[in-house]
Amino acid sequence: MRPLLSTLILAIGCQQQAGVAPLDRVPADARAVIVMGKKSIDGIRGYAAPDQEAHDELSQYFLRVLGVDVSRVEELIVFASVVEPEPQAAVVLVLPGNASLTFPQTGSHAGVSLHRVSDHAIACVLPGAIVMGTQPAVEAAIDVAQHHAPALDRNSPLRKGVPDNADFALAVRLEQVSADPMLQTAVRTYGVKDAVAVIRGENVTLTLEGDPQKLPMARSAFLQARDVALAGMRVQKDQMVQGDDVIAGAASIASYHQLRRVFAHLEPRLADGRLIVDAKMPTTDAAMVIPAIGVAAAVAIPAFMKYIRKSKTTEAPMNVRRLADASVAYYEEHHTFPPSTDWTPAGGCCRFPGGKCPPQPGHWTGKTWPALAFTVEDPFYYQYRYTSERGHFVAEARGDLNCDGVFSNYKREGTVDTQGNVHVSGLAVVNDIE
């Protein structure tokens, strides 16, 4: 995939083929799309080829390795039709004139030659464009170009929010892009189905569409993520400036203050069943702005997902405390503890959508759960177990919040002393958010 990644990073602008909108090249079943216009590509060119000597060397390198000078690329489009389990995605490089590829031919599709780029990627030449990616995605792009298959519909959520003249645009069908339980839980919780981010000049717009009843929760979550990202960037900056790497320290200072200026104006608003966030960039140089956004995302996304997982853990300590208190009350009346149980529910919660068990009264039957007056009446994330022997009990909860096979565990134990009093330990926690 190295040639494909190099092309992504170093694509540089010139002149677009007339009459073909960027998203007219994208298959109708795409679940995520990125469009980079001339301004963004020019920003990358300023970084990759700051002078004519560097530009000439890049051009000659691409001609020798690829057979075409991709430094003339006017527009770059990335689409993914399938993300899991095996990503199916392609990069479309829009450039003027005719092109040929030096990679060995490996077959053809609909009369178009396919060239092997690597073990996992192929490429082809279409009128005004080169396409590189996985074979199913490249063949889909060929079918669209030849009108054998439909392009992305103009009323598609991925398309209607992306103007043809955007400097940079990212559109994602969040419901379909990944089966990750954490993402799907967030989608259901906050009601967000589609996300579109657009940069035009200094203006950035993020539009989230979904359930109007839940979008106010999404607004609150966005503000939380904003604050988490900025705090994380500040901590990272403070750590970097204490180190010996001068370049890393300077970059962290610049990135933090760029993002601080942007975030100061981020105030999401609700309008027409959408959550809209507008911002002005402190600079129009995409080569500076887009990396800064990437650094913030690298900090914010893991931190915010950790925040979401942390919010789920409130269930376990509360219910373990319920079991412990009920055990003390039961012993005071019966002078023994209820019998032991297995983990309940037996199969865990990751087999259900979002890793969340539906409430089922049948789980909490037998002798022990009714004796402790324990049941869970709302959807829940954790399994529960109660073990006892003479003069001792253990109340436990365990959960796999991101369904990766690693469990968190919450436990309280109780022991009867020689006077017949039950002493309950503090809460013991292992891997609270895994």
Same domain? For 6 and 100 the reply is: yes
- Per-residue pLDDT band at 17 (split at 50, 70, 90): very low
Q: Identify whether residues 291 and 243 lie together within a single domain.
A: yes
Residue 187, domain member (yes or no): no
More confident site: 239 or 434? 239
Report residue 20: phi and psi, to 5°: -120, 110
Residue 190's Cα: distance from chain center in Å? 15
User: What phi, psi does 315 have (nearest 5°)?
Assistant: -60, -50
> Pairing relation of β-strands 274-280 and 392-399?
unpaired
Query: Is 401 contained in some domain?
Result: yes
Share of the chain above pLDDT 70, in %: 82
Structural domain includes residue 201: no
Q: Helix, strand or coil for residue 410?
A: strand
Residues 249 and 397 in one domain: no
CA angle 245, 250, 255 (to 5 degrees): 125
Same domain, 307 and 317: no
* Cis peptide, bond prior to residue 345, ω within 30 of zero: yes
Strand, helix or coil at 201? coil
306 shares a domain with 354: no
In angstroms, the CA 397 to CA 361 distance is 18
Q: Are 303 and 325 found together in one domain?
A: no
- Residue that terminates a domain, selected from 289, 312, 335: 312
Same domain membership, residue 238 and residue 337: no
Among 259, 279, 312, the domain boundary falls at 312
Q: Among the listed ranges 133-137, 202-206, 248-252, which one has the minimum average pLDDT value?
A: 248-252
Confidence band for 309, pLDDT divided at 50, 70 and 90:
low
Residue 299 falls inside a structural domain: yes
Residue 433: its pLDDT value, please?
67
Q: Facing residues of 208 across strands? A: 195, 275
Q: Give yes or no for residue 65 having a pLDDT over 80.
A: no
Question: Quick check: is 30 in a domain?
Answer: yes
d(CA 207, CA 209): 7
Same domain (yes/no): 389, 292:
no
Q: Which two tokens stand for residue 152?
A: 């992305």
Say yes or no: 335 and 348 in one domain: yes
**Higher pLDDT pick, 417 / 286:** 417
CA distance to 184, 190, 207, 388, per residue, from 306 (Å) = 15, 16, 24, 34
267-280 tens-digit pLDDT: 888 988 888 988 77
- One domain for residues 347 and 245: no
Indicate the number of domains in the chain: 3
Nearest Cα to Cα of residue 154 among 171, 179, 141: 171
pLDDT at 179: 58
Kindly state whether residue 198 falls inside one of the protein's structural domains. Answer: no
Residues 300 and 384 in one domain: no
| Short-list 415, 278, 241, 409, CA closest to 337 | 415
Domain housing 308: 211-312
pTM of the model: 0.56
Decide if pLDDT at 132 tops 50. yes
Inter-residue contact 138 to 123 (CB < 8 Å): yes
Residue 153: pLDDT over 80: yes
Residues 30 and 167 placed together within one structural domain of the fold: yes
Of 163, 179, 195, which marks where a domain is finished?
179
